[in-house]
Structure formats: structure tokens, C-alpha cells
Amino acid sequence: MLSVKDLHVYYGGIHALKGVSLEVPQGKIVTLIGANGAGKSTLLRTICNLVPARSGEILFQQENIVRVPTHEIVKRGIAMIPEGRRIFPNLSTYENLRLGAYGRTDDVEIEQDLQWVYKLFPRMLERKNQQAGTLSGGEQQMLAVGRGLMTRPALLMLDEPSLGLAPILVEEIFEIIREIHKQGITILLIEQNALAALKVADYGYVVETGNVVLSGAGDELLHSEEVRKAYLG
């Protein structure tokens, strides 16, 4: 579904991604693990064209999307749940979810998707009219994921969905990731909680200082001595 080939990205004079290549097969969960500042978020932002690529290719369903505007990339079926949630705090939970469907005109299907989000996250229905800024951290993360799902994505990219959450909520978020995946949505996941990420992933990549240094099946990386020492403690 997604193929990144020899991607180079710069922030001013800093070479942030140094020839990154990876594949995200349709219907799979692929995770990127690595330390802070390794380039993981930059990669997601570049896929969405929020950060321009200097060179390389990003093929989504066989089409190069490197120069495609961000709003068009969303329409083509890629949604990103950004690190830090980035919800609209002064709008209600419901208004935030409806904004996820801003590019859609299929009212019946929008309503169906809204009901699906409420089924996944019953608390979003309970908090429907509440200002999003007053939700707890875990609820805001659920809202951010729900808003992304309202775009009806083929590929959902999640940037640090468990960041700052209590362990019990981390478990809940990963359970929901599994549930979304069961609906046929392909997932690209960035996560500092390497253990939780590799447990759900079909395939994983280890990123260090802008390079992919290791890749393999999720289970294989979970039991790799190198990965255990560096990321699993």
C-alpha cells in the first residue's frame, strides 16, 4: 500500500532522514521504533507533505505522492493522528469528530462512521457535547483517533498514541488499534513503548539518527537481542 524509497529530508542544515526505505503492505500493522529525535515523526510528516522531501519517492497505491498537497493526500486515504493529539479544545467532542469528515459529502456513510467511532469509544458518545479541551488525556487521545477514522482512511498513521497515558489506558489504546485493524485498515505506528508496539505489529523497523538500522517481523524484533538491549530494557 505504501512504499518509501531512498527518502532524504532536511530541516535547514540538518539531514533528518538519510535515505530511508520501507514498505507498508496492505492490511498489515507496521511499527517504527527508535529513540526520540531518530526521525520517526519526520517520516510521517513527510508522507503527509507537511515537511517537504529533498529527494526520494513515496508511493501510495502505486502513485508518487511526494508533491501532492496535504489535503489531497487525506482525500486519497491517508490519515495521521499527530503526536500531542492536536484536537480543537474550544469545540465539542462531536464537532471535532465531524471536522474529521470535512472533505466528505456522503452524509449517510459519515453517520455510519460516527456510530462506529461511538461503538469503539463509548466515552465519546457520553462526552458528545463536552468541550474537547476539558477531556482527560486518555479521552483526548481517543478523540484524536476517532477524528482520524472519520476521514475513512485506507492507511492510518499513529504518532505516539500511548504517550503520557496511564498503563491501563495504554492497554486500551492498543486493544483499539487491534480492533481498527480488524476492520481492514492498514496501520503505520510510531511508538516509544517498543514492547507494546512490537506485540501488535506484523512488521517493524528500527530507526536511528535518520536511518533504518534493522527490520523484521514484529515477533522477530521482539526477541532480537539487539532490540532488547536498546529498547526493551
What pLDDT band is residue 103 in, cutting at 50, 70 and 90? confident
The predicted structure's pLDDT at residue 166: 84
Is the distance from CB of 94 to CB of 55 less than 8 angstroms? Answer: no
On average, the pLDDT of the chain sits at 93
The predicted structure's pLDDT at residue 24: 98
Instruction: Report which listed range, 80-89, 97-106, 200-209, is most confident.
Output: 200-209
CA atoms within 13 A on the CB side of 183: 16
Global pTM? 0.92
pLDDT in tens, 120-136: 999 999 999 999 999 99
**How wide is the angle at C-alpha 121 spanned by C-alphas 50 and 154, nearest 5°?**
40
Q: How far is the C-alpha of 160 from the C-alpha of 228, rounded, in Å?
A: 19
What pLDDT band is residue 4 in, cutting at 50, 70 and 90? very high
User: E strands, 25-86, where?
Assistant: 29-33, 55-60, 63-64, 78-81
Tell me which H or E stretch contains 180. helix 167-182
The predicted structure's pLDDT at residue 170: 87
Q: How many helices (H) and strands (E) does the chain have?
A: 10, 10
- Tell me what percent of the residues of the chain surpass a pLDDT of 70: 100
The predicted structure's pLDDT at residue 96: 96
The predicted structure's pLDDT at residue 35: 86
Q: How far is the C-alpha of 153 from the C-alpha of 161, rounded, in Å?
A: 17
Q: How far is the C-alpha of 75 from the C-alpha of 123, rounded, in Å?
A: 28
- 233 pLDDT exceeds 70? no
The predicted structure's pLDDT at residue 208: 92
Sketch out the chain's domains with CATH numbers: 2-232 (3.40.50.300)
